Amino acid sequence: MRPLRYSINVTLDGCVDHTTVQAGEELHRHHAANLERADALLFGRVTYQMMEEAWRRSPDGRWPEWMDDWMIPFAEAIDQASKYVVSSTLETVDWNAQLVTGDLEAFVRELKEQPGEGIALGGVTLPLALADLGLIDEYELVVHPVVTGHGPTLFAGLAEQLELELVGQHDLGTGAIALRYVPRSA
């Protein structure tokens, strides 16, 4: 069974607004390495559209002019991956993507049963639903030394408390630390 791995940047006060953290070279390389451990990406509509706008090649195959060379491995990993987009409002998707509608739990269980390296999960709303269903196999919180004083916050509205076990940590050298957790066995 391929694992469903969730990774997100979060501030010390739990804010998951992507604009509140510095996304430098080391952070991009870290997340690119995470994506290399996955052969599929699972996004909700908002994350898919945000990623598509930022990381998709132009029709002529070029990267955006603003993109530094060190961002390209991250962009390539996202661009080339198979993507599954959970949405009740989108009618179509492209960019190596398949639209997911209907029974979310059944779809994700089937996706996890397929052979492969893993499934990378991003966003805020979809991971909350999948955490409530007990379908996330690994949680990575990249905690940044920032206090924002505003939301959105991580797992706001979670139905039941998650009991997690720390299985790894990595200091990114910027003051941020990546903490990896798995659900604690009952």
The CATH number of whichever domain residue 147 belongs to comes to 3.40.430.10
Is 29 in contact with 173 (CB distance < 8 Å)? no
Provide the number of structural domains found in the chain.
Answer: 1
Closest Cα partner for 45 from 126, 157, 105, 113?
126
Question: What is the Cα–Cα distance from 49 to 55, expressed in whole angstroms?
Answer: 10
pLDDT, tens digit, 9 for 90 and up, residues 99-156: 999 999 999 999 999 999 999 999 999 999 999 999 999 999 999 999 999 889 999 9
Q: Which residues of 123-150 are buried (b: 16+ CB within 10 A; e: fewer)?
A: bbebbbbbbbeebbbbbbbbbbebebee
Question: What is the Cα–Cα distance from 105 to 128, expressed in whole angstroms?
Answer: 13
Global pTM value: 0.93
Structural domain for 116, as ranges: 4-183
